[in-house]
Structure 1
Amino acid sequence: MAADRRVGVAVDFSPCSKAALRWAVENMVRDGDHLILVNVQKEGHYEEGEMQLWETTGSPFIPLTELSDPGIVKKYGVKPDAETLDILNTVARQKEVVVLLKIYWGDAHEKICEAIDNIPLSCLIIGNRGLGKLKRVLLGSVSSHVVNNGTCPVTVVKNFDHGS
């Protein structure tokens, strides 16, 4: 079973998603796991054919080795920061973990839940921005939605760095 574990981490390259990624790497990821980063973009700007396919299925899996490639960055509109890449390269090397990125387009509430089923994920780690009560009511917390609607175990990592 260990070789089949797919640990998902919702990432948007913000401080709170980096906190969730760090937590996942330190507490959840084991040797031989697949670490799958799930990123949701609001909208795409791609060739019609590819975009129509990706809107329903998400992007193809993008391996860690391609995440620094400027062509990939341009094609998908995603640019992982140096700190995130460092965390990923370290865990891939130290724990022999396969790291993949999958990008979805649309509403994060829905797409993260879809990713859990479609990939499928064994578990998901997601950061919590710590929105105030009013913002949470107006915007709806993505992490709360995923906890309540996701079909796998979900761990919410609180970001204690309020300076960001």
Structure 2
Amino acid sequence: MAETAAEEKAERRIVVAVDEGEESTYALTWCLTNLVSSNFKDTLFLVYARSAPTVYTGLDGTGYMFSSDIVATMERYANEVAESVMEKAQKICRDLAGDIRVDTRVEGGDARDVICQMVERLNADILVMGSHGYGLIKRAFLGSVSNHCAQNVKCPVLIVKKPKSPAS
């Protein structure tokens, strides 16, 4: 019976939120170097939140209409960015932990909601994410994705802050 519990515990589901920023790349690298271990059967889920299409409104409150070509171009660009982010993240995984199981998920929507929903849907054991290190004012206006996730997911959250580079 103790063997079964140890076997169940040996399998971990780690969600790493990735985006275009250096902070998420650093968090993924840190995770692979310090958290992922050959002692566990880790599955790494790379989650990318593709922002929803922006709706532009005029001063009179009416929405701007875009031609289908422009909408298709914006959609294609968003897909290319998502693909690029995932390729970079997968390469980091291969370089630092070649034999780990990696699964990628790209979902559209607000990053806060997408990450929280994916953590729940994947039944994650831990969420790893980078911190942009915004100050109080920026955080008040922009909101903090990591803070929102830390408050709303039901698993531990590891927020990895990239060290500041020394002044030249």
What TM-score does the superposition give when structure 1 sets the normalisation length? 0.71
> Percent identity among equivalent residues?
32
Distance 2:87 2:103 in 1: 16
Pair 1:79 & 2:89 matched? no
Cα shift at 1:162: 6.0
1:101 correspondence with 2:101: no
What is the alpha-carbon root mean square deviation over aligned residues? Answer: 2.4
Find the counterpart in structure 1 of residue 119 from structure 2. Answer: 116
Q: How does 1:1-164 map to 2 (within 5 A)?
A: 1=8, 4-31=11-38, 32-43=41-52, 77-80=82-85, 84-93=89-98, 96-161=99-164
Q: Larger radius of gyration, structure 1 or 2?
A: 2
2:123 maps to amino acid: P
Show CA shifts across 1:79-121 (max 9, x none): 137753432112442xx21011111111111111111110121
> What SS does the corresponding residue of 1:38 show, helix, strand or coil?
strand
Distance 1:77 1:18, change over 3 A: closer
Gaps of 5+ in 1: 45-72
1:92 and 1:98 in contact (8 A); partners too: no
- Opposite residue 150 of structure 1, the aligned amino acid is V
What's the TM-score, normalizing by structure 2? 0.70
Matched-pair contact (CA < 8 Å) for 1:17–1:127:
yes
State how far apart, in whole Å, the 2-side matches of 1:129 and 1:75 are.
23
Q: Do 2:48 and 2:82's aligned partners in 1 also have CA atoms closer than 8 Å?
A: no
The one-letter code sitting in structure 2 at the alignment partner of 1:25 is: L
CA distance in 2, matches of 1:24, 1:8: 10
Name the SS for the 1:125 alignment partner.
strand
Gapped regions of structure 2 (runs ≥ 5): 1-7, 54-77
